[in-house]
């Protein structure tokens, strides 16, 4: 059993298996992860993070593979995190994204990690940002994060990357559905993939109209709409140009710094919520108290108010905050 210090040393020595092991520790909630991250955190932040999201089968993996090819041709290294859903029944998962990236397997400049969403419902996995941090610390320059196929409300990716690419395709719903789903709101770049398929032209104009119609704050970014056929390797340069365009915009006026700060705050809040939940519900005492209050006829809100006042006194006790 290796220590955090061992793994960090191997990471610094350029061993890819150390990247893999650290990501597993993050996924498994292994206490050694936090220690290891602490010793490499100064190296985190150089990699550029791009999210690839969109409905199931839109071509996210195919596009990720093509974008990786472009980056490799430009001499840049690429770390990929590909998230697929866990089964809510068995807790297991079939992780199939990397099949579309098979040609990258033997390229030492590319690292691909598949990850199951486990308990998360936001389109990513709890350890997704951790995995990016590890690949970033190792030195991968471009980090690409593929989400699970999203429906209408899974947008964790916007709190995880610098630039969100939303991939749509003809046949998987029309422009109205895209608007309803809020995908337009999270998109920094909108891609109509499968431009070779009937209906692509229509989807493109629908999206352009939707983007033009949207109310937007003064000076806010307007997502470009780009068509491509990732499956044929056509038009992907245009997608990457749009990503770079967004990057140039982010580089102005401290926007990138602000976006990343927001990301880290969201991550801290998530970690605090998780820790609090474990402490609150772990012993089972509060659940018991809720059960008996409900039996006495309290509404869920009465019961919640009772529990909140019962714990809030303790939560703010100074020794609870500064100690342990």
User: How many CB atoms sit inside 10 A of residue 57's CB?
Assistant: 14
Among 110, 164, 187, 163, CA closest to 141: 110
Question: In which residue are the tokens 């990786």 written?
Answer: 68
Q: Which partner in Mg ion, another protein, ligand GTP, none is near 232 (CB below 5 to 8 A by kind)?
A: ligand GTP
Nearest approach, Cβ of residue 146 and ligand GTP (Å): 6
Question: Tokens at residue 110, please?
Answer: 């590319």
Q: Which partner in ligand GTP, Mg ion, another protein, none is near 309 (CB below 5 to 8 A by kind)?
A: none
Q: Which partner in another protein, Mg ion, ligand GTP, none is near 194 (CB below 5 to 8 A by kind)?
A: ligand GTP
Residue of 61, 65, 68, 114 that binds Mg ion (CB under 5 A): 61
- The yes or no reply on residue 68 touching Mg ion (CB under 5 A) is no
Cβ closest to another protein, residue 322 vs residue 324: 324
Select the residue whose beta carbon is closest to ligand GTP and give its number. Answer: 231
Residue of 50, 86, 163, 193 that binds ligand GTP (CB under 6 A): 193
What is the rounded distance in angstroms from the CA atom of residue 159 to the CA atom of residue 166? 14
The length of the chain, given as a count of residues: 324
What is the rounded distance in angstroms from the CA atom of residue 282 to the CA atom of residue 265? 25
Q: Which partner in Mg ion, another protein, ligand GTP, none is near 322 (CB below 5 to 8 A by kind)?
A: none
Q: Exposed (0-12), middle (13-18) or buried (19+): which is 102, by Cβ within 10 Å?
A: exposed
Among 127, 174, 122, CA closest to 151: 122
Residue of 27, 97, 142, 156 that binds Mg ion (CB under 5 A): 97
Residue of 18, 49, 53, 62 that binds ligand GTP (CB under 6 A): 62
Pseudo-torsion of CA 41, 44, 49, 53, nearest 10°? -20
Tell me which stretch binds Mg ion (CB under 5 A): 21-29, 91-99, 136-144, 287-295: 91-99
Q: Which of residues 215-274 bind ligand GTP (CB under 6 A)?
A: 229-232
- The yes or no reply on residue 136 touching Mg ion (CB under 5 A) is no
Nearest approach, Cβ of residue 75 and ligand GTP (Å): 25
- The yes or no reply on residue 58 touching ligand GTP (CB under 6 A) is yes
Q: What DSSP state is assigned to residue 284?
A: S
- The yes or no reply on residue 154 touching Mg ion (CB under 5 A) is no
Contacts with ligand GTP, residue ranges (CB under 6 A): 56-62, 97, 100, 149, 193-194, 196-197, 229-232
């Amino acid at each position: 059993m290796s220590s955090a210090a061992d793994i960090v040393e191997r990471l610094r020595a350029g061993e890819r298996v150390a990247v893999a092991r650290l990501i597993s520790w993050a996924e498994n909630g292994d206490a050694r992860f936090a220690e290891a991250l602490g010793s490499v955190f100064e190296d985190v932040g150089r990699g550029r993070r791009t999210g690839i999201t969109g409905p199931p089968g839109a071509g996210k993996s195919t596009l990720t593979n093509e974008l990786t090819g472009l980056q490799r041709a430009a001499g840049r290294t690429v770390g990929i995190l590909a998230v697929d859903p866990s089964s809510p029944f068995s807790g297991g998962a079939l992780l199939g994204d990397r099949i579309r990236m098979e040609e990258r397997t033997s390229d030492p400049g590319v690292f691909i990690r598949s990850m199951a969403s486990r308990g998360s419902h936001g389109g990513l996995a709890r350890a997704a940002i951790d995995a990016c941090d590890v690949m970033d610390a190792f030195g991968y320059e471009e980090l690409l994060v593929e989400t699970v196929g999203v429906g209408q409300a899974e947008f964790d990716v916007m709190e995880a990357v610098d630039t969100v690419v939303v991939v749509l395709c003809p046949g998987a719903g029309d422009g109205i559905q895209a608007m309803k789903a809020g995908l337009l709101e999270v998109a920094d770049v909108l891609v109509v993939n499968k431009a070779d398929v009937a209906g692509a032209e229509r989807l493109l104009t629908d999206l352009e109209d939707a983007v033009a119609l949207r109310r937007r704050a003064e000076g806010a970014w307007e997502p470009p709409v780009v068509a491509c056929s990732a499956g044929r390797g056509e038009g992907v340069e245009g997608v990457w140009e749009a990503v770079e365009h967004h990057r140039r915009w982010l580089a102005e006026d401290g926007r990138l710094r602000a976006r990343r700060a927001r990301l880290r705050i969201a991550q801290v809040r998530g970690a605090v919520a998780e820790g609090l939940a474990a402490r609150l519900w772990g012993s089972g005492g509060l659940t018991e108290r809720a059960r008996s209050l409900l039996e006495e006829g309290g509404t869920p809100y009465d019961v919640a108010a009772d529990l909140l006042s019962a714990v809030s006194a303790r939560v703010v006790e100074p020794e609870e905050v500064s100690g342990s």
